[in-house]
Amino acid sequence: MPNIWNLTGKDLSAATRFVLETTPTWAAEQRLVARLWVTGNVSAVRFGSPGVVDPTSVFAYSSGALDLTTTWPLQVRATGQGDFSVGRELNLTVTVRGQVTGPRSSGLLYLSFETKPTDYEVVSSTGGDNPWGLANVWNLTGRDLSGDETFRITVTPRFSGNRIPFDLRVWSPRASWSSVRFSPDGTIQNLDSVFLWADVTVDFAIT
């Protein structure tokens, strides 16, 4: 495991640095924990999620934590115009801005509007230029996003409430585009097949 160092036999009388390069996969407040631990039986050490040692299976000498806040590299926002009522047409303008760089950038980039079919129905959009032929997915590959890029979609609310949500995601396939699967209502079924550059939930009051 790349996040575990074997210190057996090392002289730690002087400060020793161990460098771990990581790529955040989610924008949130996070805590990174480093533990110094020993065991008399390596095969007895248990791990939970990949790379996370079960502290009950080792003897911990010390630990330290780093709190940090990560943000999405792309800014996504949405505005609505029209009738915010069930069965009426609502025109949404989605704006994307930012820059995608780093080893996770595959060259392919997409924006998707995702919601429950019981909340909104897609009527029309400026999307559809994607390998899946979905109206709620826009192909951003090769676009200059350093300024505001706008995309439009018309939906019909199907449920009333103070906060009827939908998700706006900008993502790249981790492998080929064909590895990304969509449900019949246009939502990504296997989120582990994409790398997210933005994931924003927007909600409107619908009467």
**Residue 38: phi, psi to the nearest 5?**
-130, 160
Pairing of strands 137-139, 161-173: unpaired
| pLDDT value, residue 150 | 94
**Each residue of 174-198: b (16+ CB within 10 Å) or e?**
eeebeebebeeebbbeeeebbbbbb
- How many Cβ atoms are within 10 Å of 159's Cβ, its own excluded? 12
The SS3 call for residue 43 is helix
Q: How far apart are CA 145 and CA 98, in angstroms?
A: 5
The order of strands in the sheet holding 90-98 is: 74-82, 90-98, 149-157, 120-125
| Tokens standing for residue 28 | 């949130």
| pLDDT value, residue 171 | 94
Pairing of strands 110-114, 90-98: unpaired
Cβ burial of 81 (10 Å; 0-12, 13-18, 19+) is exposed
| pLDDT value, residue 87 | 94
144 near 196, Cβ under 8 Å? no
| Tokens standing for residue 62 | 């010390």
Nearest Cα neighbor of 150 from 45, 66, 79, 63 is 79
Give domain limits for the chain. Answer: 1-71, 74-206
Helix H, strand E, coil C: the string for 127-188 is: CCCCCCCCCCEEECCCCCCCCCEEEEEEEEECCCEEEEEEEEEEEEECCCHHHCCECCCCCE
pTM above 0.85, yes or no: no
Considering the domain 74-206, what is its CATH architecture?
Sandwich (2.60)
* Tens-binned pLDDT, residue by residue, of the chain (207 aa): 788 888 888 888 888 888 887 777 666 667 788 888 888 888 888 887 767 888 888 888 788 888 777 778 899 999 999 999 999 999 999 999 998 876 666 689 999 999 988 899 999 999 888 999 999 999 999 888 988 999 999 999 999 999 999 999 999 998 889 999 999 889 999 998 999 999 999 999 999
| pLDDT value, residue 127 | 84
